[in-house]
Amino acid sequence: MAEATDATLTSLVENGPIKSLRIEAVRETADSRYLGVVGISYRHPIFHVIDHSPFSGELSPDSRYVLRKLSRPGHETKVFVLFRQFDSSKYSAFPEDIVAGWVPPEEEAQALSWVQRMNRQIEAFGVTNHDEGVD
């Protein structure tokens, strides 16, 4: 997925599968901590995605979780949790976002707490630029 714009999020709400992306809590597994469908390994600087097309990838110095509100007239506001894989890379000049899930606006403070926890886990890896010195 490219950068998660309002148009992208609106399409997700209108065309699904929005209900399956509802976040209730941070989930722990034997090797990773998940916020929505995106997890961070406990041992290695990698992330996992467990949605309709599962995959894993390396964390970048830009990797982080963020919140984004989607408010549209006549529709319920949703607070999305996005995982930003990178701001740009040698393969893409544009950000790469993965929609981890969403919460209703009344749970935004809890979601922010989860995002901060996940970002501390990412920061603990001290990831540097994997592309340095590569031509």
**Cis amide linkage into residue 73, ω under 30° from 0:** no
What b-and-e string marks burial along 21-42, b requiring 16 or more CB atoms within 10 Å of the CB? bebeebeeeeebbbbbbbbbbe
What b-and-e string marks burial along 72-82, b requiring 16 or more CB atoms within 10 Å of the CB? eeeeeebbbbb
What is the sign of the dihedral through the CA atoms of 24, 79, 16 and 14?
Answer: positive
pTM above 0.95, yes or no: no
Locate 114 and state its tokens: 């989860």
Contact 18, 102 (CB under 8 A): yes
* pLDDT value at residue 133: 44
Q: Which pairing describes strands 55-58 and 64-70: parallel, antiparallel, or unpaired?
A: unpaired
Query: Over the stretch 87-127, which tens digit does the pLDDT of each residue have?
Result: 988 878 889 999 999 999 999 999 999 999 999 999 999 99
Locate 54 and state its tokens: 């599962």
Long-range contacts of 70-74 (CB under 8 A, 24+ apart): 70/6, 70/9, 70/10, 70/13, 72/10
Whole-number Å distance between alpha carbons of 86 and 110 = 24
Query: Over the stretch 29-50, which tens digit does the pLDDT of each residue have?
Result: 999 999 999 999 999 999 999 9
